[in-house]
Amino acid sequence: MAKRKKRVALLPPPPSPPVRPGLVSPILPVPPEIERPDYATTGTPSPREARAVRTGNEIERMRVACSAAADVLNVIGDSIEPGVTTDEIDRIGHEDYIRRGGYPSTLNYKGYPKSLCTSVNEVICHGIPDSRSLAEGDIVNVDVTIYLGGVHGDTSATFLVGEVDDDSLRLVDETRNALYAGIEAVRPGAPINAIGRAIERHAKRYGLGVVREFIGHGIGDQFHTSLQIPHYFDPGYDTALEPGMTFTIEPMLTLGEPTLVVWDDGWTAVTRDGQRSAQFEHTVLVTDSGAEILTLPSDGLPAAERFRR
């Protein structure tokens, strides 16, 4: 007697052709009067250890930098439409960083050639802006980080390009909600893994995969510190959260399996099965009672909410 096969839910084919690399334009210049991070010239960040807990002065400067990053993201959001190239998105972001007196944190960080990341459809993260035009039905994550006042502010959102299919809309909505679930888990004394537990539970509730290779990170006067924030539950991450800690929460969720491959450029990570991925990110501060979202724009409405449908 033949063994009965276990029924497996099959995903529909991806709603668009695979993303392919386009032409990458030259690095945009930064005026000499703009303050630069330590890696701006060499591409190599300082190996020094950073404190996990920020000083009061650092926190005030981070509020300014993080708000500026959120403002840049909103400016970019207004430009998202079919036909715009990701290179044009990079130019808009670059010019807005400079207008605010900040340096694009990603520019020449470990050799990265652009001022922000644009990750389209099945690109999970670190997509390099290029000559590809956005098409009706795409989704695109834009990840911006500004170096301003000696500290970094880091935030991202996934935008809908025109009308998108229902699965993509569900993916984007629930990735946004997973971010907020993670933020709600932040409180003094809670283990770091409480954040990943909340995100993973939400993702599983909606049948979404959680990317494990890329995680949140400590941030302050350094772009990335040794503090690590997984978006899945790992019992080993049991360090207690303390008031004054600043870090990013940036879950990347997928419609299909969360396994990935990285392009030959060494940056662009894509889902192995070609299914779409979405990401949202805030920089947060641990307070005496919970979490403060630092990456709120000057008008208080972040891109995750402003461009929500």
- Give the pLDDT confidence score for residue 277 in this predicted structure: 98
SS3 content of the chain, % helix, strand, coil (to 5): 25, 20, 55
What percentage of the chain exceeds 70 in pLDDT?
Answer: 95
Q: 11 falls in which pLDDT band (50, 70, 90)?
A: low
Angle between helices 56-77 and 86-99 (to 10 degrees): 140
- Give the pLDDT confidence score for residue 12 in this predicted structure: 58
Residue ranges and CATH numbers for the domains of the chain are 56-306 (3.90.230.10)
- Give the pLDDT confidence score for residue 52 in this predicted structure: 92
- Give the pLDDT confidence score for residue 6 in this predicted structure: 35
Which residue from 177, 134, 166 is spatially nearest to 280, judged by alpha carbons? 177
Summary mean pLDDT of the chain? 95
C-alpha distance from residue 68 to each of 1, 102, 152, 257, 306 (Å) = 66, 9, 10, 35, 16
pLDDT at residue 48 tops 50:
yes
Distance (Å, whole) CA 237 – CA 221: 23
- Give the pLDDT confidence score for residue 4 in this predicted structure: 33
Give the lowest-confidence range in 14-18, 179-183, 235-239, 292-296.
Answer: 14-18
Q: Region 222-238: what's the mean pLDDT?
A: 97
pLDDT at residue 3 tops 80:
no
- Give the pLDDT confidence score for residue 9 in this predicted structure: 43
41 is written with which tokens? 């010239």
Span 151-185, pLDDT tens digits? 999 999 999 999 999 999 999 999 999 999 999 99
